[in-house]
Amino acid sequence: MVSSPHEAMHRIFQDYPGLLSGVSEVLGVDFGPLVGVTVLPTDLTEARPVERRVDTLLRIETEGDGSYLLAIEAQGKKDPLKPASWAYYLSYLHTKYRLPPVLLVVCQDRATAEWAARPVDIGPPQWAALTLRPLVVGPHNMPVITDAAEARKDLALATLSLITHGADRDHAAILKAMTTALRETPEDIKDPIVDLISQGLGTLPAAALWRKLVAVDLSFYKSPISEELRDEGRAEGRVESRAEDILFILELRGINVPEDVRGRITGCDDAETLLGWLARALTTPTAEELFASE
């Protein structure tokens, strides 16, 4: 079954084709300035063989260097059968379109990314007939963006970075930077990004924190996922829910919460005070430092 993170990791390139420029810079591969991108059919099935589909397929037009094909695969785990499929995709695409194909694999965990990045020789050991060399994006090489201003410079790249780092232990600062960056962003840009991130995080622990941050930091949504998040925000806006959210974030970050700190949080009935503690819970090194400025 195709998971929601799988869909988000490749669909973001369909929604934001210009993302390739930022990803190319991260990977250190210069494809030249883009002058056009076309989303192509992903069905690579021949007349009789088994059906084969690439996740996303784009035709890229560059300034000066002509056109090429970008096949994007979202890979959730190691799969020894995949390299053969990827080699088939590239050979088929080269034959069908007579354009040079490039394979970009997007991963959410380091082990899978490092596995996918290894060149694979196809042929006998004496002489490889083909060598598969994917470009790979994952937590091992995507930037960790914890500054809202940096995220705002390229929201598509920041979104992909957030999704690839969704399993990082200390993901709170990354999520907070994104909601801060989105506060002043127009809704027609903000809404699909919120939805992509919700989809991309799937069932990771970061997904629960993302939903809470969206409810606290961002209030005006129109898309289905965003409406759901806003409904949750209304229910969790009560004082007692804010206290629970503070404890949830601290525990999610692996911060020890002594009983006296827990009692002070759950015993507070001032909504504004709790909101301040909630914001500090995202970055505080210890539970006691929630109250440092008081």
Question: In this predicted model, what pLDDT tens digit does every residue of 144-192 receive, in sequence order?
Answer: 999 999 999 999 999 999 999 998 887 888 999 999 999 888 888 888 9
Higher pLDDT, 107 or 233: 107
Does residue 50 have a pLDDT over 90? no
Q: 40 pLDDT band (50/70/90 cuts)?
A: confident
pTM flag (> 0.75): no
pLDDT in tens, 245-277: 888 888 878 888 888 888 888 888 887 788 888
Does residue 235 have a pLDDT over 60? no
Query: What percent of the chain stands above pLDDT 90?
Result: 38
Distance between CA atoms of residues 73 and 106, nearest Å = 6
**Could you write out the three-class secondary structure of 162-226?**
HHHCCCCCCCHHHHHHHHHHHCCCCHHHHHHHHHHHHHHHCCCHHHHHHHHHHHHHCCCCCCHHH
pLDDT in tens, 73-105: 999 999 999 999 999 999 999 999 999 999 999
Q: Which tokens go with 98?
A: 């007579």
Distance between CA atoms of residues 264 and 138, nearest Å = 40
Q: What is the pLDDT of residue 149?
A: 94
